[in-house]
Structure 1
Amino acid sequence: MARYIFITGGVVSSLGKGLMAASLAALLQARGYSVRIRKFDPYLNVDPGTMSPYQHGEVYVTDDGAETDLDLGHYERFTGVASRQSDNVTSGRIYQQIITRERKGDYLGATVQVIPHVTDAIKEFAQADTEGLDFVLCEIGGTVGDIESLPFIEAIRQLRNDLGRGNSVSVHLTLVPYIAAAGELKTKPTQHSVRELAALGVSPDVLVCRSEQPLPDSDRAKIALFCNVPKDAVIPALDASTIYGVPLQYHAEGLDHEVLKAFGIDPGAPPRLDRWSEIVERVLNPEGEVTIGVVGKYVGLPDAYKSLHEALVHGGIANKVKVHVRWLDAELFEGDEAEIASQLEPMHAILVPGGFGERGSEGKIASVRFARERGVPFFGICLGMQMACVEGAREQGLDHASTTEFGDTETPIVGLITEWMGKDGLQTREQGGDLGGTMRLGAYPAKLAGNSVVSSIYQASDISERHRHRYEVNTRYRDVLEAGGLVFSGMSPDGMLPEIVERPDHPWFIGVQFHPELKSKPFDPHPLFASFIEAAVRQSRLV
C-alpha cells in the first residue's frame, strides 16, 4: 500500500508548496522510491481551463487531456513522471460529481452533506490509481484557515485515521518573516498557523520554514517547542539561486531524511543527486549567453508562460548557455515598424507563444515578419504558428489573410476545428458551445516529412505532443503557403491537420500547433527547445 505525504501551507500563499512537493518527490525518487504527486485545488471552477492567465497562471495540459494547475508542471519537470487527469482535482469538480450523482438518485434519498459525502469524494480521489507506488504526495492549495480549504483538511484528517499509524505524514510549509526595523525573524506566524491546523485535527510531523534570512538554531528550537515537532524536523527553506538547486538545498537541510524518519523508515544511504548537481553547475556557470524575445499577450505575469520559460532554460542547459528571456508586449508592436526594429534587433531569437483572442495579434504577425526578413531564428507555438501562416499568406499577396478566431474574414487561413479523430473516435464541437474542456486537448500523434528540419531535430518520423487549441491552419491554403517557402513538415496521421510548418531556407524557422514546452525537463530538454537555443547561439556570434 502506498504511503501518503500531505502538504499544507500557512501564513501566506505563494511560498512554494508545489516546488517543495516536487523537490521532495525528486529526493525520494533519488533514493529509489516510486512517487506520484497530486494537487487539491479549493476553488469552484471545475478546472483552470476557462480562467484568465492573470488569475491563475498557465494551464498545464496532461497527455490524457486534462487542463490542470501549473504546479503539475513542476511535478513533471522534477520527477519525469507524466501527470494524469487523476492528479488534479478542484472543489468544483468534486461538487459537480456529487450533484450529478444526487440528481440521479445515487444517494438513495440521503441528505447530501459536506461530511461524509464531500470528504468521501476527496478521499476517493486521493486513493485512486495508486497501485504499485511507494509514496503519494498530496498538495493542498491555498492556506490553512481559508474557508474553501476546510473540506480538504477534514478529508486529510479522516484519511490519516483510515490509513493507520505510520502510513501518512503531514508536512506544513510556513513563513518566518524578517522584520527589518527590529532586525529579527518572527516565529509567531508559524506558531499560529500550526495551531490553526492542529485545531482542525491535523498535527504536522515536519515543518518547512520559508525565510529570507538564515534560521538560527534558537529559533528552530523555539518553533519545535511551540509546534510539538522535533527540532530536526524544522527545516529551513531559504531562497535558492535557481529552482533546480532546491532539491539539493532541501536535502542538505534534511527534509527527505526527516520525512522518512517520520514514517519510521531507516533513511539508509544518501540519495544519488549527481544529475541535479550537474544541472545546477550548468545553470550557474554557463559558457555563454543568449537573449530570447518572447512576443506575447500575457507578459505582465511570467507565470502565464511558466512551462515555456522553463523549457527555454532547459534549452540553455542543453547548450551550456544562460538564457535571458525578454518579455515583449505584442500590443506595443502594432503599426510602428521603428519600434519593432528597436525592440527586436538585440534579440538572438524570437518566440511567439500560444494565446487566445485578437489583442496583440498584429504585433505578433509583425514579429514573424521581422524574423523572416532578417533571418533571425523564429519559434511559433500554437497561435504563434497560426500567426506565422497568416504572415506567410499576406506575403504571398493575400492581404486580408486572418483567422476566424478574430471574426469573419474572406481569407480564413486559420479556422475553427469542428471535428477530429481522437483516442475515443471522432470528436465534434459546435460554434458557441461550452468553453471548458472542449478544445483539442492532450497528446496526439504526428508524422514528420522525411527530409524536413524537424525530423532531423527529433531524429524520428513519428512523434506525440500535447495540444490545447480550437483553431487549425486551413489546408486549403497549403499550396499558396508552400509556394512562398512555408512548408508543412508535420501532419496528423490522417493528413488532415497541420502540426508543424517550417522554412527550410531560413536559419531556423519553425511553427508548431502543439505545446512542446509541456514535455521539457531539465535533465531531458525538449529537442525543439535545445535546437532553438542552439540556433540562437549561432545567431549571437553573427551580431
Structure 2
Amino acid sequence: MTKFVFVTGGVVSSIGKGIVAASLGRLLKSRQYSVSILKLDPYINVDPGTMSPFQHGEVFVTDDGAETDLDLGHYERFTDTAMSRLNSVTTGSIYQAVINKERRGDYMGGTVQVIPHITNEIKVRILRVAKDKNPDVVIIEIGGTVGDIESLPFLEAIRQFRTEVGRQNLIYMHVTLVPWIPSAGEMKTKPTQHSVKELRSIGIQPDILICRCDRPLHPGIKEKMSRFCDVPVECVIPAPDAKSIYEVPILLEREGLAHQVLTLLNLEQRPPDLNQWQSLVERLYRPQERLEIAIVGKYVRLNDAYLSVVEALRHGAIALGSDLHIRWINSEDIEANGAAAYLEQVAGIIVPGGFGIRGVDGKIAAIQYAREQRIPFLGLCLGMQCCVIEWARHLAGLENAHSAEFETNSQNPVIHLLPEQQDIIDLGGTMRLGLYACRILPGSLAERLYGESVIYERHRHRYEFNNAYRSLFLETGYQISGTSPDGRLVEIIEYPDHPFFIAVQFHPEFRSRPNVPHPLFQGLLEASRTHLQRREAEVSVPL
C-alpha cells in the first residue's frame, strides 16, 4: 500500500518545509519510487487565487486549473511530476466541503464538530491523493508551525491517521531551527526541544528531525537533541544553508535522509541515481559570462511574487552556463523617471503578469524601450497585453488605446474581456485557468523555439486580445504566431523586425524544470547573450 510521510514545522515559519518535502521527493524518485506531494494550508481562503501577491507570493497554477500555494511549484520542479487540485488543501476548502454536506443533510441531523467531521474530511483528502495517483509514497506538508491555533485540526487529523493506516505505513518528519547565538558562541537546542515538546503534547512523536542551521551540527549537538527529543541520533538530520535550493537534495542525501525514511517505512533500499541532478548543481556553481535580466513588475518588493519566473530564468541560465543576475525594477519607478534610467545596461527584459492598473504605464514604457532599443524581450500574460497596448499607441496611431480591464469606456479597447467571463461575479477560481492547447504558426520564432506545431501551456487570465484589431495588428508588422486551435484566441505575438521580441498570454514559467528549461526562457537568455556580446564588440571598436 501507499506509504505516508508527514512534514511539520516548528519554532518559526519559512524555514524550508516545502523545499525539504520537495527534496525528499527527488531523492525517492531517484530510487525509482513514485511520489506525490500534498500541501495542507491552514488559511481560511478556499485557495490563494484572491490573495495579494504581497501577502502570499505567486499563485501557482496546475494543469487542471487549480490556483495553489507556490510550494506546489517546488514540488513539480524537484520531482518533475505534475500536481493537480488534489495536491492542495486549505482550511477554507475543508470547511466549505463540510458545510455543504451539512446543508444537504448528509450528517443525518448530527451536530457537526471539528472532531470528527473536520478531521475526517482532512483524512479523506489525504487518502484521495493515494487512491487517485497510487504512488509509492505520499509526502504531506502541513503549513505553519506547531502551536499555531489554525493548524491544530490538521495536526489532530494526522495523529489519527496513524491508527487508520498502521504505524508501519507512515512517519512524522519535523523541520526545526537550530540557531547560532553569537553572544553565547554556540548553537542552541532549546527551540527544538520546546517545538518537539509541543508536538508530543498533541500526540505526535517525530521519527526524524530536520535541523535547519547556518553551520554544521557538532556531533554533541545531535546527541543532545536525540536524547531530549527521543529521536535516534542517526535520524537527527542537519539541513545547513545552501547557495541554491537545488543543492538541498544533494546535502540531504549525504546526511542519509532517504536511507532513514526507507528504513522506517520498511521499503527496499534502492541505490539512487542523482548523476543528472549533481551535474545540474555543478553547472550552477560554475557559470561563465554574466547575464543581467530585468524583471519589470509591480510586486517586486516581494520577489516570491514572481518565483516561477525567476526559477525558469535560472533553469535556462544553468543550461547555458551563464551567471544570472536579476535587476528588479518597479514599473511605477519607470513611470516617474523613464525607462532608460533603469534598462539601458541590461541584456534582456521580462514583463511578467499581474492585475490592476497600478504600474501598467511603466510596463508599457519598458516594452517600448525594449522594442526601440532592440533589447531581447519576453512578455508574460499581462506583459503580452501591455505589448498590444504599446503597439496600438505607438505604431498603430491609436493614442487612447487601453485594456477594458483598466478603462471600461476606452474608445479603443485592444484588450477586452473573454466572452465567457461576461456574467461572472465571483472572482475566485473563475478565470481561464489551467492547461490549454496552442497552435503555432509555421516559420515563426515560436516554432523555432518550441520545435512543435501544437503546444500546451497553463493560463490564468480574464482578458484577451480584441480580434477587432487583428487585421490592423498584422498590417503594422506584428505577427500572431500562436492561437487557440480554433484560431479565435490570440496566444502568442511577435515583432519579427527585432532580434528577439515575443509575448504570450499564458504562463510558461509554470512548466519549466531544472533539467528541462522552458524554450521561451532559454531562448530569451540565448538572445540576451548575443545582444551582450554584440554590445561589448561595439564598445571595443576603436574610434
Asked whether the two chains share a fold, i.e. TM above 0.5, the reply is yes
Alignment counterpart, residue 173 of structure 1, candidates 168, 172, 175: 175
In the alignment, which residue of structure 2 is the partner of 1:75? 75
In the alignment, which residue of structure 2 is the partner of 1:430? 423
Shift of 1:129: 3.6
How many residue pairs get matched?
531
1:368-387 matches, cutoff 5 A: 368-387=367-386
Shift of 1:114: 0.6
Report the TM-score when normalising by structure 1: 0.97
Structure 1 residues 539 and 154: CA distance shift in structure 2, 3 A: same
1:78-117 matches, cutoff 5 A: 78-117=78-117
Q: Distance in 2 between matches of 1:191 and 1:262?
A: 22
In the alignment, which residue of structure 2 is the partner of 1:313? 314
2:423 is matched by which residue type in structure 1? E
Shift of 1:335: 5.1
1:484 is matched by which residue type in structure 2? T
Contact 1:393 1:480 in 2 (8 A): no
Alignment counterpart, residue 469 of structure 1, candidates 457, 461, 478: 461
- Measured against aligned partners, the alpha-carbon deviations of 1:211-269 in whole angstroms (never above 9, x if no partner) come to 11211000000000000010010001111011111100010111111111222335243
1:231-242 matches, cutoff 5 A: 231-242=233-244
In the alignment, which residue of structure 2 is the partner of 1:531? 523
Q: Distance in 2 between matches of 1:517 and 1:495?
A: 24
In the alignment, which residue of structure 1 is the partner of 2:269? 267
Shift of 1:418: 2.7
Alignment counterpart, residue 449 of structure 1, candidates 434, 441, 453: 441
Shift of 1:322: 1.6
1:484 equivalenced with 2:483 (yes/no) = no
In the alignment, which residue of structure 2 is the partner of 1:280? 281
Q: Percent identity?
A: 53
Contact 1:211 1:239 in 2 (8 A): yes
Q: Distance in 2 between matches of 1:336 and 1:257?
A: 56
In the alignment, which residue of structure 2 is the partner of 1:352? 351
Shift of 1:429: 4.5
Shift of 1:481: 1.6
SS at match of 1:435: coil
SS at match of 1:405: coil
Shift of 1:287: 1.9
Where structure 2 has 5 or more consecutive residues not aligned to the other structure, the ranges are: 536-543
SS at match of 1:78: helix
SS at match of 1:325: strand
In the alignment, which residue of structure 2 is the partner of 1:53? 53
1:534 is matched by which residue type in structure 2? E
In the alignment, which residue of structure 1 is the partner of 2:331? 330
Shift of 1:120: 0.5
Which has the larger displacement, 404-413 or 66-75? 404-413
- Measured against aligned partners, the alpha-carbon deviations of 1:134-174 in whole angstroms (never above 9, x if no partner) come to 10000000000000000000000111111112100100000
- Measured against aligned partners, the alpha-carbon deviations of 1:479-531 in whole angstroms (never above 9, x if no partner) come to 11222222111001111110000011210000000000000010111111111
1:333 is matched by which residue type in structure 2? I
Contact 2:60 2:510 in 1 (8 A): yes
In the alignment, which residue of structure 1 is the partner of 2:254? 252
1:376 is matched by which residue type in structure 2? I
Q: Distance in 2 between matches of 1:322 and 1:37?
A: 31
1:501 equivalenced with 2:500 (yes/no) = no
SS at match of 1:128: helix
Where structure 1 has 5 or more consecutive residues not aligned to the other structure, the ranges are: 420-427
In the alignment, which residue of structure 2 is the partner of 1:197? 199
Shift of 1:342: 2.4
Q: Distance in 1 between matches of 2:334 and 2:474?
A: 27
2:152 is matched by which residue type in structure 1? L
Q: Distance in 2 between matches of 1:390 and 1:5?
A: 49
Q: Distance in 2 between matches of 1:336 and 1:123?
A: 54
- Measured against aligned partners, the alpha-carbon deviations of 1:393-427 in whole angstroms (never above 9, x if no partner) come to 112100001101112211101011132xxxxxxxx
1:1-80 matches, cutoff 5 A: 1-80=1-80
1:507-526 matches, cutoff 5 A: 507-526=499-518
CA-based RMSD of the aligned residues comes to: 1.0
In the alignment, which residue of structure 2 is the partner of 1:425? none
